[in-house]
Amino acid sequence: MRVYTEDDADPKIVKDDVVAVIGYGSQGRAHALNLHDSGCKVLVGVRPDGPGAKRATEDGLEVATVAEAARQAKLIAVLTPDMTHEQIFKDDIEPNLKDGDALLFAHGFTVLYGRVTPPENVDVIMVAPKGPGGLVRSEYERGRGVPSLFAVHQDATGKAKEKALAYASLIGGASAGVIETTFREETETDLFGEQAVLCGGASELVIAGFETLVEAGYQPEIAYYECLHELKLIVDLFYEGGISRMHDFISETAKYGDFVSGPRVINAETKQRMKEVLKDIQNGSFAHDWIVENQAGKVRYNQMLRADLEHPIEKTGKELRARMSWLKPGANTKEN
What is the H or E stretch that residue 234 is in?
helix 231-249
- 136 contacts 129 by C-beta, under 8 angstroms: yes
- Is 148 a known ligand-binding residue? no
189-209 burial by CB neighbour count: b if 16+ within 10 A, else e?
ebbbeebbeeeebeeebbbeb
Q: Which of 306, 308, 320, 322 is nearest to 229 (CA)?
A: 320
175 appears as a binding residue in the annotation: no
How far is residue 199's CA from residue 322's CA, in Å, rounded to a whole number?
24
Q: Is 25 annotated as a binding residue?
A: yes
244 is in an annotated binding site: no
User: Does the annotation list 68 as a binding residue?
Assistant: no
User: How far does CA 310 lie from the centroid of its chain?
Assistant: 25
Whether 85 is catalytic is no
State yes or no: 190 annotated in a binding site: yes
Q: Is 38 annotated as a binding residue?
A: no
319 is in an annotated binding site: no
List 31, 85, 107, 153, catalytic entry: 107
Q: Is 230 marked as a binding-site residue?
A: yes
Nearest to 39 by CA among 178, 133, 173, 171: 171
Q: Is 47 annotated as a binding-site member? A: yes
d(CA 309, CA 266): 25
Catalytic residues: 107
Annotated binding residues for Mg(2+), written as ranges, equal 190, 194, 226, 230
Annotated binding residues, written as ranges, equal 24-27, 47, 133, 190, 194, 226, 230, 251
Annotated binding residues for substrate, written as ranges, equal 251
Annotated binding residues for NADP(+), written as ranges, equal 24-27, 47, 133
